A and B are shown apart, each in its own frame.
Chain A
Amino acid sequence: MINSFFNPVKELFRGLYITAKNSLKDNVTLLYPEKKKNMNKFFRGKIQYIKENCIKCKLCQRVCPSKNTIQIDKYYSINYAQCIFCGNCVEYCPRQALILTPNYELASENKNDLIFKEELI
């Protein structure tokens, strides 16, 4: 019976000990604006369009899951508001006209900042 009383109390103090032990370890949080997390080269951030390589085969438009992020007619436009950064277009583009950049800060005030348009002659 004694054990059934002192055991829980021992466990309570063990709980305190664990939190104390954790307080000595170093902090894990990252001060975001000052120190940024370094992304590796495979990170799927903003997609970049290179006009020279593009042969306008419209494959990227067909492969993109959200159906109308990339529009190719007179202009080549990518709508970053709708893009889900899945990397399908970059993977299936025959001429590597689209590359992935590790840039993930896409916040902007108005929506049409997010639409990237490039003149296609």
Chain B
Amino acid sequence: MYLFQEILLKYNFSDWFIFIAGLVFYFILITIFIIITVLILVLFERKYLAMFTRRIGPNRTGIRGCLQTIADSFKLLFKENIKPANAEQFLYFISPLIVFIPVILLWLIIPFTSESANYQSQISSFLFLAVLSIPVFGVLTAGCSSMSKYSILGGIRSCIQIISSEIPVSLVLVSVVIFTGTLDLNNIINFQSGIFLNWNIFPNILGFVIFFICSLIMMNRTPFDFPESESELVAGYHCEYSGMKFAMLFLAEYALTFVICTYMTALFMGGYNSPVGFYLADLFNLNNGFDYILKNIEQLFWISIKTFLLIMLIMWIRASYPRFRFDKTLELCWYILIPLAVFNLCVEIFIKYLRGIL
């Protein structure tokens, strides 16, 4: 974003115009980046699940099925938008946007590299959680506005589920923040720099497990995929959507998965520092501006590798477990995860105190 603004300076536009152009350019850059990652993610999931069940997965489009999701998205783009007759027009039209726009904002908060032009703010980890609860409204309005009983049930289920999983997540976040001392994601990541032993995951293993389970619930992934559980509610909240709107909801779900995984790597697994402490780019120590870009690329590489490992674990879980019962999940959240999160908070404070003494 800053590079773009420097170029604009040469053509002496007025400064407020430069500020807005920079933001818009970064916004477009991020959406393109999201669409690419989601395309890869969807294809990867289908191939990865196929591997587990001894199938091949899509292999007709492209060399070995690599253009499959592009073909899917084109199909969805040009599909006819069928609107249910008695659906409320405005809410029905707006809810995919309510779901999709916050997901893009989430991407702005996450620091992908040390100098990445994301939205620097002192409380970026809490800001992430705040923005994360906005898509719930989109899902609820999508469900209730399309006036079909299945989607109403789906919408209600997903909003109860996400509320009950927000609380353990924030408690675990508090424990991480206490341990690292700052709310800002960049500082949290810098706190975990160096050899991978001082990642946050090792002192805070219980917090990581709770966070992982709650993020499964938030992402609506198996074994907690109640809003669109195929065998009961046919397709849950997005069963009346087709064409472009369905593509947006589908895209938002996968983008949400990727973003929550990057957030987890940032909090627990040392976002963009390499596990071996030093960066490959330093070896070349070429002093013109080039090593700066090389370092950024390598950091980007590290954070996406760690996120991919987490996503592979999530998809592995999707392949092997049946679905939970809805009220059992709420029981799990309220009776087990929240007390555990509070216990984990005390453990963290004690470790912090111990670390302070030594």
Is B a genuine binding partner of A? Answer: yes
CB distance from B249 to the nearest CB of A (A): 28
Which of B15-23, B51-59, B140-148, B287-295 forms part of the interface with chain A?
Answer: B51-59
Taking the complex as formed, is B320 at the interface, i.e. its CB lies under 8 A from any CB of chain A?
A: yes
Residues of chain B within 8 A of A15, CB atoms compared: 320-321
B179-213 contact mask (Cβ, 8 Å, vs A): 1 or 0 = 00000000000000000000000000000000000
B27-54 contacts to A, CB under 8 A, are: 51-54
A12-25 contact mask (Cβ, 8 Å, vs B): 1 or 0 = 10011011101101
CA distance A20 to B316 in the complex (A): 8
Which of A26-34, A69-77, A104-112 forms part of the interface with chain B?
Answer: A26-34
CA distance A15 to B317 in the complex (A): 9
Residues of chain A within 8 A of B319, CB atoms compared: 19
B56 and A27 within 8 A (CB)? yes
CA distance A23 to B55 in the complex (A): 9
CA distance A27 to B319 in the complex (A): 16
B54 and A28 within 8 A (CB)? yes
B56 and A16 within 8 A (CB)? no
CB distance from B268 to the nearest CB of A (A): 20
B54 and A27 within 8 A (CB)? yes
Please name the residue on chain B nearest to A30 by beta carbon: B56
CA distance A1 to B52 in the complex (A): 34
CA distance A22 to B51 in the complex (A): 9
A16 and B317 within 8 A (CB)? yes
Contacts from B to A (Cβ < 8 Å): 51-56, 59, 316-317, 319-321
Q: List 27 A-B contacts (CB under 8 A).
A: A12-B321, A15-B320, A15-B321, A16-B316, A16-B317, A16-B320, A19-B52, A19-B316, A19-B319, A19-B320, A20-B52, A22-B52, A22-B53, A22-B54, A23-B51, A23-B52, A23-B54, A25-B54, A26-B54, A27-B54, A28-B54, A28-B55, A29-B54, A29-B55, A29-B56, A31-B56, A31-B59
Contacts from A to B (Cβ < 8 Å): 12, 15-16, 18-20, 22-23, 25-29, 31
